[in-house]
Amino acid sequence: MYAVIQSGGKQYRVEEGSKIRVEKLNGNVGDKVEISEVLFVGGIETPKIGRPVLPDSKVVAEIIRQDKSDKILVFKRKRRKGFKKLKGHRQPFTEIKVISIQTR
C-alpha cells in the first residue's frame, strides 16, 4: 500500500518503511509525527481519492534527522558597473521514516 501526502506545500509518494526529506517539521529526533493531509491511497483493491484530502486517514512517521541541506550560492552581477553580490543559503529539512499508513 502507498499514499500521496502533502507536507510543506509539496506532495510525496510514500510507502511503509520509506525515508523521505520534507520541509522542516517541529520535533526532535525519535519523535513520532502524524501527517493528516493524505491525498490518495493506492495499492489496495479500490484506490481512495481525496477531495482534496481523505478524512480519517493519516500517515504515522518517525523523525530520523533534523539538518540543513547543502549550501546554494546566489550570485548577482551587473555588467560594466562593478556590482557583485554573493549570498549563500542552507534550507532546513526533516528526514522522516514512514511507520504506517492508516485509512478507513
Torsion of CA 6, 7, 9, 14, to 10 degrees: -50
List the beta bridge partners of residue 24: none
| Per-residue pLDDT of the chain in tens (104 residues, 90 and over written 9) | 999 999 999 999 999 999 999 999 999 999 999 999 999 999 989 999 999 999 999 999 999 999 999 999 999 999 999 999 999 999 999 999 999 999 98
- What pLDDT does residue 54 have? 95
DSSP strand E in 10-53: where?
10-15, 19-23, 32-35, 38-42, 48-49
Report how far residue 59's alpha carbon sits from residue 80's, in angstroms, rounded to the nearest whole number. 55
Residue 1, all three cell numbers: 500500500
Q: What is the pTM of this model?
A: 0.85
Residue 12, all three cell numbers: 510525496
Tell me if 44 sits within 8 A of 79, measured CB to CB.
no
- What pLDDT does residue 21 have? 97
Q: Of 103, 101, 93, 97, whose CA–CA distance to 32 is shortest?
A: 97
Alpha-carbon Rg for the chain in angstroms? 19
- What pLDDT does residue 72 have? 98
